[in-house]
Amino acid sequence: MRIHRLPEELASKIAAGEVIERPVSVVKELIENAIDAGARRIDVAIDQGGRRLIRVEDDGCGIRADEVELAFARHATSKLSSVDQLYEIRTLGFRGEALASIAAVSHVTLSTKTSDEEAGIRIRLEGGVPQLVEPVGRPTGTMVTVEHLFYNTPPRLKFLRTDATESGHIARLVSAYALAFPQLRFSLMHHERLVTRTTGTGALYDALLAIYGLDVADEMLEVPREEGQRLRVWGYVSSPAVHRSTRQEITLLVNRRWIQDNSLSYAITQAYQSLLPQRRHPIVVLHIELPPRDVDVNVHPTKQEVRFQHPSEVFSAVQRAVRTTLMGQSSVPIISRVDGSYGSRMAPSREGERSSALLLPEEGRVGDAPRRMWEPGDSNEETVGGERLPMLRVIGQLAQTYVLAEGPGGLYLIDQHAAHERIRYEELSNQVGRAAVVSQELLEPRVIDLSPRHAELVEEHLEDLAKVGMEVSPFGSGSFLVRSVPQHLVGGDVAAALAEMVEAAEEGGAAFSWVDQALITLSCHTAVRAGQTLSFDEMRDLVRSLERCELPHTCPHGRPTLLRMTRQQLEREFGRL
């Protein structure tokens, strides 16, 4: 379609707004234009966090020489012509505003050539005013150079953060588009240093690998694409072994458009419930595909938020996809030897804390991984995945803390407390789910005194407490009468358990319900401790119950319940291989 000005009544239906807030907004608009132009290669270069220079070059269809000036006019677009199309948008851009807005606050040079024209054309504007239009020799495609951003709007300039922050935003954006379009080759240079490069093979995994490096890519679980559905959710989610301190590595792509959606991020975090340590977040790349008519992209000036026709359907599809993947694939972490000491792949201090690849790494990422003597999952037979544990044979107890067992995957070390917590937690949540909590009436009601803060929390949640089997009633001035407690708490420190339950439940992240959080604390209180000697029968019971758990690999706080050393590892260490 030729570029044309949108008629007034159509232009007025478009969610308008100032779209250029900072350098990353410019990069976003230029990348979207390149993608809409059918580019297969998109190269981005920035200098000084984008404030001095932003250059985006593509090999797309180019702009006809007689249309370049029009392309910079407000509401001039080749992507939309009728109001009806506005409800079924298939391009990333549609407002015809970006080039005009960028040109208004910078010096822009655009060189372009279409495939059926002999020569290309170059146009240069300052503050939106054309300075020069001249023919230029160049290959098919478009290169836009934006210099001195916000030179004529000093307040905007003052609002910008450090170069590192601005370029961090840009790197994040390029990564997100690379994940959205794995079939395109992206590169990002900052100060002539390569930050990101993807290969454009079309496989999402390859894009993940290029962006996050091998260590993280290795830990990603595939959410398969289900053909034939109207609503499809697919991509990759991190195994519980990898996590981050923020939600920023949750990339949501709706019909390949990168969006922010708090309720969907929440759905994902919730799916990780009891698998991650508190306040830690997964790395997730999810494509959500649905008919364009079922999603309104014309609600936000920078198009970063969308409105779904059926939000709850999308919410549950996302949650189901993530949960199913996690339950089906999480496996027992293999002990690996790192720099002479033994660490597990589950240890958050290694993988979890590694700086994000998106923060402009100084060096290559693959080379700086700690050296591993033992590679995880050496051979396929040895990789024991699946939601349940295999049958394990108890060998004995170590340091009154770990149960040693033998299984098809080699030697298993089970943390008796963490494992018991998991068992208790599932038992209790099942009971709560069926409204069949096994609680025991105390022979004599107990009076307990709580601090004012705890007393207040208990009073607010009397009903929730009843749900988990604690029948408590106020007894005046910070005292409470406890009539019944969950079965396993009989004989335990009821006052301490109660105080800790309400405290933890109150502080628990948004991903956990109050009752769930209370159950986690309760599980901890009723589980065997480290340092407790267990008989063989007790160990066998523990292992049998763990085998029956739905998510046996982590305790409800997200720590591993067991580690494994493969036979191959042992053979290699003993020099048998």
Given the rule CB under 5 A, which residues bind Mg ion?
33, 93, 98
Of the listed pieces 30-38, 233-241, 262-270, 406-414, which binds ligand ADP according to CB under 6 A?
30-38
DSSP assigned state of 352 = I
Smaller CB separation from Mg ion, 93 or 333: 93
- Written as six digits, the tokens of 383 are 């990789």
Listed in sequence order, the residues at least 6 apart from 93 whose beta carbon sits closer than 8 Å to its beta carbon are 29, 32, 33, 36, 77, 79
Shortest approach of ligand ADP to residue 97 CB, angstroms? Answer: 6
First to last CA, the chain: 66
Q: Which of 33, 187, 521, 523 binds ligand ADP (CB under 6 A)?
A: 33
123 touches ligand ADP by CB under 6 A: no
Kindly state whether residue 168 participates in binding ligand ADP, applying the rule CB under 6 A.
Answer: no
Q: Which lies closer to Mg ion via its Cβ, residue 76 or residue 394?
A: 76
Pick the closer one to Mg ion by CB: 56 or 485: 56
Q: Does 34 bind ligand ADP (CB under 6 A)?
A: yes
Q: How far is the CB of 98 from Mg ion (least distance, A)?
A: 4
Query: To the nearest whole angstrom, how small is the minimum distance from the Cβ of residue 191 to ligand ADP?
Result: 24
Q: Which is nearer to ligand ADP, 297 or 448 (CB)?
A: 297
Alpha carbon distances (Å) from 57 to 123, 344, 459: 15, 44, 63
Neighbouring CB atoms inside 10 A of 248's CB total 13
Strand order in the sheet with 41-47: 129-136, 120-126, 107-113, 141-147, 53-58, 41-47, 185-190, 193-197
Q: Which is nearer to ligand ADP, 96 or 410 (CB)?
A: 96
What CA–CA distance (Å, rounded) separates 377 from 383? 5
Q: Select from ligand ADP, Mg ion, none the partner in contact with residue 494, using the beta carbon and a kind-dependent cut-off of 5 to 8 Å.
A: none
Minimum Å gap between C-beta 79 and Mg ion is 8
* Least distance (Å) between residue 155 CB and ligand ADP: 24
530 vs 499: CA distance, rounded Å? 22
Please identify, using beta-carbon distances, which residue of 72 and 425 lies nearer to ligand ADP. Answer: 72
From the list Mg ion, ligand ADP, none, partner contacted by residue 426 (C-beta under 5 to 8 A by kind): none
| Cβ-based neighbours of 380, under 8 Å, separated by 6 or more | none
Q: How far is the CB of 73 from ligand ADP (least distance, A)?
A: 9
User: Cβ contacts of residue 365 below 8 Å, gap of 6+?
Assistant: 212, 213, 214, 215, 357
235 binds, among ligand ADP, Mg ion, none (CB under 5 to 8 A by kind): none
Closest separation in Å from C-beta 79 to ligand ADP: 5
Which residues is 244 bridged to in the sheet? Answer: 281
Q: Which span (92-100, 131-139, 480-488, 510-518) binds ligand ADP, by CB under 6 A?
A: 92-100
8 Å CB contact between 276 and 240: yes
- Of 23, 49, 50, 93, which one interacts with ligand ADP (CB under 6 A)? 93
Residue 37 interacting with ligand ADP (CB under 6 A): yes
Q: What does the block give as tokens for 64?
A: 């006809």
Strand partners, 284: 237, 250
Q: Which is nearer to Mg ion, 89 or 317 (CB)?
A: 89
Report 42-71 residues binding ligand ADP (CB under 6 A): 58, 60-63, 71
CA pair distance 514, 504, nearest whole angstrom? 9
- Is 136 exposed, middle or buried, given 0-12, 13-18 or 19+ CB atoms closer than 10 A? middle
Using rule CB under 6 A, residue 96 touches ligand ADP: yes
- Residue tagged 């998991």 (tokens): 422
Question: What span, in angstroms and rounded, lies between the C-alpha atoms of 404 and 148?
Answer: 65
CA separation for the pair 245, 504 (Å, rounded): 19
Rounded to whole angstroms, the Cα distance separating 187 from 196 reads: 5
Is residue 79 involved in binding ligand ADP (CB under 6 A)? yes
Binding segment (CB under 6 A) for ligand ADP, from list 88-96, 218-226, 410-418, 472-480:
88-96
Nearer to ligand ADP, 93 or 352 (CB): 93
Stretch that binds ligand ADP, among 33-41, 127-135, 202-210, 487-495 (CB under 6 A): 33-41
Residue (50 or 93) nearer to Mg ion, CB: 93
Residue 25 or 484: which CB sits closer to ligand ADP?
A: 25
Rule CB under 6 A: which residues touch ligand ADP?
3, 29, 33-34, 37, 58, 60-63, 71, 76-79, 93-100, 142
